[in-house]
Amino acid sequence: MSIPSPVYDPPFNITRASHVVLTVRDLAASRRFYTDVIGLAVSAEEGDALYLRGLEEACHHSLVLKRTSGQPICERVGFRVFTEDDLVKAHAYYAAAGLRATFVDVPHQGRTLHVTDPFGTPLEFCASMEVMPRLLTQFHLHKGGRAHRLDHFQILLPDVQGACAFYMKQGFRLSEYVVTEHAETIVAAFLQRKGNPHDLVLFNQAGPRIHHFAFTTVDAHTLLHVCDVAGNLGYGLAVERGPGRHGPGHAQYVYFRDPDGHRIELFTTHYQIMDIENAPVRWDPNHPLRKQIWGLPAQRAWVEEGTCFPGVDVRPPLVQEPVVTLEKFLAARG
């Protein structure tokens, strides 16, 4: 196995993970969860769509919720490119790669490019959005988890090694990765554009599906406070995992399932990774911190469940990587 080579002079300039578009069954229920528990701010509610942003964000939205009467799905994950010119270059790049790339109109966004990656993940790119006031210092209005900004999303898919190579060619840098036992292939990849460990995380599972999207928050105090608030407001069992500390990436996290089962992470403790000499960190599967630094393993639902993309077949992973779930851990203990 070799890890793909970094591309320091990318064909167009993706700057960061930008937004996620989900469908939900009850917009009012979702609004309550995402504002009172997670602490996002509402930018607009228009017809069947609710636009939310983090307290720190000046962009119009980082989370879009649309009402559905069907199965809740993830319509699309969005990235920012720096300039309109980068959009044009992106269009040319994907077209040259044989992918269907289409310019579309999306409310509150600048010109927007739709592409589906070769693995089935529906992507969206734009260079700008409408500007909203940052609420960073409106401390008296902060609620619950005080979600500050969208940081990354994690995609489950059958071919991490392949997807990793695809995204690295576009300038994503690999910050950390996990290999199989005999290092035949990559089973988890942390990819970044914005100078901290991840904009896009890829994990080996049946997919493509989105595992979670993650917002930063301020501190450990808030990670526990959001759980207390969740409990008070009837979402005690929505706390699916944590608070805890990851091994790879080092994030201090808590995971929630929203009323439709979509998974959101709040976390702290990023590190900066910008310099050219920073080599990717490799995690062997037997590393004691491969999963987390302390506490019990994640339950099976956290490991295996995710949200589907529309009209995309979910296929099994190319390699089977055994994961010690909470269920297996407790059973082994007897």
Q: In terms of Cα–Cα distance, which of 128, 134, 99 is closest to 114?
A: 99
Question: Nearer to a copy of itself by C-beta: 207 or 249?
Answer: 249
Q: Interface mask (CB under 8 A) for a copy of itself, residues 250-269, using x and -?
A: x-x---------------xx
Task: Assess 63 for contact with a copy of itself (CB under 8 A).
Answer: no
Helices (H), the chain: 27-32, 84-96, 160-168, 220-232, 300-304, 326-333
Using CA atoms, how far apart are residues 163 and 169, in angstroms rounded to an integer? 10
Residue from 162, 195, 261, 317 binding a copy of itself (CB under 8 A): 195
State in angstroms the smallest separation of the CB of 119 from a copy of itself: 26
State the Cα angle at 304 between 303 and 309, rounded to 5°: 125
Stretch that binds a copy of itself, among 114-122, 142-150, 177-185, 314-322 (CB under 8 A): 142-150
Using CA atoms, how far apart are residues 39 and 54, in angstroms rounded to an integer? 8
Return the number of other C-beta atoms located less than 10 Å from residue 229's C-beta. 18
Question: Nearer to a copy of itself by C-beta: 103 or 271?
Answer: 271
State the Cα angle at 47 between 46 and 48, rounded to 5°: 105
Stretch that binds a copy of itself, among 25-33, 56-64, 70-78, 198-206 (CB under 8 A): 56-64
State in angstroms the smallest separation of the CB of 233 from a copy of itself: 6
Question: Nearer to a copy of itself by C-beta: 92 or 330?
Answer: 330
Stretch that binds a copy of itself, among 45-53, 95-103, 156-164, 219-227 (CB under 8 A): 219-227
Using CA atoms, how far apart are residues 293 and 271, in angstroms rounded to an integer? 17
Using CA atoms, how far apart are residues 152 and 62, in angstroms rounded to an integer? 11
Distances (CA, A) of 132 to 15, 34, 42, 61: 19, 18, 10, 9
Stretch that binds a copy of itself, among 88-96, 135-143, 158-166, 184-192 (CB under 8 A): 135-143
Task: Assess 35 for contact with a copy of itself (CB under 8 A).
Answer: no
State the Cα angle at 304 between 331 and 241, rounded to 5°: 70
Which of the residues 72 through 91 are near a copy of itself (CB under 8 A)?
80, 82-83
Which of the residues 267 through 326 are near a copy of itself (CB under 8 A)?
268-269, 271-279, 288-289, 292-296, 299-301, 326
Stretch that binds a copy of itself, among 96-104, 161-169, 183-191, 227-235 (CB under 8 A): 227-235
Task: Assess 167 for contact with a copy of itself (CB under 8 A).
Answer: no
Residue from 66, 194, 282, 290 binding a copy of itself (CB under 8 A): 194
Residue that the structure tokens 């592409």 belong to: 115
